[in-house]
C-alpha cells in the first residue's frame, strides 16, 4: 500500500511539473500590446553596424500605439500599425523631408522595408520584427538597464 501511495505521489508531482508552462507574451495579446508600449532602440538591421545605429539614436516609439513613430537620425517617420496576437502590420508611412547626410541611407532603407515586416516577437527586453523571408529587425527597450 505504501508503494502505491509513493507512486501516486510521484506521478502527481510529475504531472504538475509537466503542466507548468511559463506564459509567453504570445499567450495574452493584451499584455503583449502593453509590453510593446515603449521606445525601442534599433540594434540590428540589414548590414548597418550597431555602432552607427546607436550613434544615430535610431528608434521606434510605440508608447502611443495610435500614433507610432520612428526616427533613424534625421526625419520623423510616422505610420499606423495593426496588431493581432504576434502579427503586426505597418501602414501609411510618411516622413518629414529634411536632408541629413549621415542618416539618409539608414532612413531610406528602414522606410522602404518596414511595411514588409509582418510578425513580431518579444523576448525579454528585445522586440524582433520578422518578414516572410525570415529577415529580422531587432530593437532593445530604451528603458532597459
- Specify the higher pLDDT residue, 31 or 114: 114
Residues 6+ apart with CB under 8 A from 40: 59, 60, 61, 62, 127, 139, 140, 141, 142
What is the model's pLDDT at position 28?
Answer: 53
Q: What is the pLDDT of residues 83-117, one digit of tens each?
A: 998 999 999 999 998 988 888 999 999 999 999 99
Q: Domain ranges in the chain?
A: 25-141
Question: With 50 as the cut, is the pLDDT of residue 21 above it?
Answer: no
Give the distance, in angstroms, between the CA of residue 113 and the centroid of all CA atoms in the same chain. Answer: 15
Section 128-133 average pLDDT: 97
CATH 1.10.10.10 fits 25-141, yes or no: no
Angle, CA 142 vertex, CA 139 and CA 143 arms, to 5° = 135
Q: How confident is the model at residue 58 (pLDDT cuts 50, 70, 90)?
A: very high
Amino acid at each position: 500500500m505504501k508503494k502505491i501511495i509513493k507512486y501516486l505521489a510521484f506521478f502527481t508531482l510529475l504531472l504538475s511539473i509537466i503542466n507548468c508552462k511559463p506564459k509567453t507574451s504570445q499567450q495574452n495579446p493584451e499584455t503583449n500590446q502593453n509590453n510593446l508600449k515603449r521606445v525601442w532602440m534599433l540594434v540590428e538591421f540589414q548590414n548597418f553596424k550597431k555602432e552607427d545605429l546607436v550613434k544615430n539614436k535610431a528608434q521606434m516609439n510605440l508608447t502611443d500605439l495610435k500614433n507610432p513613430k520612428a526616427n533613424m537620425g534625421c526625419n520623423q517617420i510616422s505610420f499606423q500599425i495593426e496588431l493581432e496576437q504576434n502579427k503586426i502590420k505597418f501602414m501609411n508611412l510618411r516622413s518629414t523631408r529634411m536632408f541629413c547626410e549621415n542618416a539618409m541611407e539608414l532612413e531610406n532603407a528602414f522606410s522602404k522595408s518596414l511595411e514588409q515586416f509582418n510578425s513580431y516577437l518579444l523576448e525579454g527586453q528585445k522586440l524582433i520584427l520578422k518578414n516572410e523571408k525570415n529577415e529580422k529587425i531587432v530593437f532593445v527597450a530604451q528603458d532597459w538597464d
